[in-house]
Amino acid sequence: VGRKATLVAALDAANLPEAVRASQAAGLDASSSLETAPGIKNPDAIRAFLEAAAALPPPPASFVWKGNS
């Protein structure tokens, strides 16, 4: 997967680091995995997911060349 893809899966705090490492996706969709029931968000799951995301290493710098800077 390239850096322009969005990873849509059952992402949560536990599997986020490996999913990002393996896919190198530029975006993530974790909506349903952070719910206790359809449409009901779990604040603890959201907090844990954001903490896991904040602990990820930064993405590699984009390649910049004359003409796309």
- Other CB atoms within a 10 A radius of the CB of residue 31 amount to 11
DSSP state of 41: E
**CA 17 to CA 9: how far, in whole Å?**
13
Give the mean pLDDT per block of 10 residues along the chain (69 residues). 71 91 84 91 95 86 59
For residue 43, give the 3-state DSSP assignment: helix
pLDDT at 18: 92
What are the E-state strand segments in the chain? 6-8, 27-29, 35-37, 40-41
Answer yes or no: pTM beyond 0.75: no
Phi, psi (degrees; rounded to nearest 5) at 41: -75, 145
Residues pairing with 40 in the sheet: 37
